[in-house]
Amino acid sequence: MVIRDLTLAGLKKEQLLNLHYTMLLMRHFEEKAAEGYTLGKIGGFLHLYTGQEAVGSGVNLALEQNDVVISSYREHGHALAKGVDPNALMAELYGRASGVSKGRGGSMHIFSKEHKLFGGYAIVAAQLPIACGYALSAKLLKENFVTVVYFGDGAVDEGAFHEALNLAQVWQLPVVFVCENNLYSMGMAVERAWAVSSLEPRAKAYAMDYEQVNGMNVLDVYQTAQKAVKRARETSMPTLIEAKTYRFRGHSMADPSSYRSKEEAEKWKQTSDPIVLFENALREAGIANNDDFKKNDDRALQIATKAVEFADKSPMPELQSLTEDIMVDPTGAIAWRRPR
C-alpha cells in the first residue's frame, strides 16, 4: 500500500492544524477580551472578531512574513494571525505599559513594527488610502512586499474607498483589498445601505479584479487570497476580495443588537461557525480527528488565559509617558522655549 500525505487545498496536516489553531486562538482571545471588558478591565470600545476568524486566518496563510497588513479597529484577529504576541496584545487592551502600543492605543490601535502589522485605524475607510501609500513604497523602493488591507462593509460607502480603489488601479499598486462583509455596519444592514447587492459592480467601476468568497470557509478564503497575492506580487495589480461573513457578537460590546433577530444570529452560529465547518472538512477528509482539535483548543485557551494573566499583572504606563512620542522632534511642540 502506498502511503502518501493527505492534503487539502495543497496544505499538509501540520499546516492545516496550524490554521485551525490560529482560528481557535482568535476565538478564545476574543472571549477573554469580552470577559475583561465585562469586568471593567478593558475600557473604551471593544470590537470583537468572533465569527469572522476564517477571513483573517485564511488570508494570512497566503502571505509571506515580509508582507504588510493594515486594518480597521476590528483587528485583534489580524494581529494574532500575523504573529503578534497575545500577551502584548491583551496588555494593550488592558491599557498597560507592556502593550504593543505602550497602552496608548487600546483595542482599536494595534501596531507591531516587528510583525508588519501596521495599524488598526478607527476612522472608517481611512486605512485604504494609507495602504495605497505602503504599496507605493513597495513599488518605488523595489521592495517586493504585498499590502493587504482589511475593512468592513460600512467602509465601502465612504469616499476614501472609491478614491483608494481608483488610485490603486491607475497606479498599478500591489495591494489586496479585503472587505469583510458581515452584513451590518454597526446596525445598518447592507441591503439598506448598498445600492448594489455585491461589491462586484464597484470593483468593475474601477476595472479592478474582483473575487467573492465564502468568508466562513477558511480554505476558500486561503485559495482566493493566494490568487490575489500572487497577482499583486507578480504583476503589481490590485484585487478587491469580498468575503461574506457574519459577526457572532455585536458591533462592539456596547451594541444593543436591536437591528437583527436573535434567531438570525443563532442560525449563523449553528450552521456557519467557521471553526466547526473547518473541523468537519478535516474530519471528512480523514486528515485530523477530535483529539487533534481538542489539543489545539486546549492550547489556544491556555495561551489566551495566560495573556489575561500577563496583562492583569502588567504595570500601568508611567504618567511621564503622557506627552512622549507625539513627534520625533522634541522641540516640535507648541510654544517651544529655548534652553536658557
Q: Kindly state the cell numbers that stand for 254.
A: 456596547
Among 123, 193, 196, 205, binds another protein (CB under 8 A): 123
Among 9, 11, 130, 276, binds another protein (CB under 8 A): 130
2 contacts: CB under 8 Å, gap ≥ 6: none
Among 16, 17, 160, 228, binds another protein (CB under 8 A): 160
- Comparing CB distances to another protein, the nearer of 112 and 185 is 112
Among 83, 133, 269, 312, binds another protein (CB under 8 A): 133
Give me the torsion for CA of 227, 230, 234, 237, rounded to 10°. 60
Using DSSP's 3-state secondary structure scheme, residue 329 falls into coil
Among 159, 191, 195, 319, binds another protein (CB under 8 A): 159
Q: Which of 144, 133, 200 lies closest to 171 in space, CA to CA?
A: 133
Stretch that binds another protein, among 17-25, 101-109, 208-216, 226-234 (CB under 8 A): 101-109
Adjacent-strand bridge partners of 181: 244
Q: Kindly state the cell numbers that stand for 155.
A: 467602509
Binding residues for another protein, total number by CB under 8 A: 54
The reply on whether position 333 binds another protein by CB under 8 A is yes
Q: Kindly state the cell numbers that stand for 182.
A: 458581515
Minimum Å gap between C-beta 78 and another protein is: 15
Q: How far apart, in whole angstroms, are the C-alpha atoms of residue 173 and residue 74? A: 24
Minimum Å gap between C-beta 69 and another protein is: 13
Among 42, 138, 243, 282, binds another protein (CB under 8 A): 138
The reply on whether position 335 binds another protein by CB under 8 A is yes
- Comparing CB distances to another protein, the nearer of 28 and 74 is 74
Site for another protein in 169-228 (CB under 8 A): 170-171
Task: Put residue 327 in one of left, alpha, beta given phi > 0 → left and psi -120 to 50 → alpha.
Answer: beta
Site for another protein in 34-73 (CB under 8 A): 68, 70
Alpha helices in 141-199 (DSSP H): 159-170, 190-193
Q: Which of 84, 80, 106, 96 lies closest to 26 in space, CA to CA?
A: 80
DSSP classification of residue 317: P
Q: Which residues contribute to the site for another protein (CB under 8 A)? A: 68, 70, 99-105, 109, 111-113, 118-119, 121, 123, 126, 128-138, 140-141, 143, 159-160, 163-164, 166-167, 170-171, 324-329, 331-338
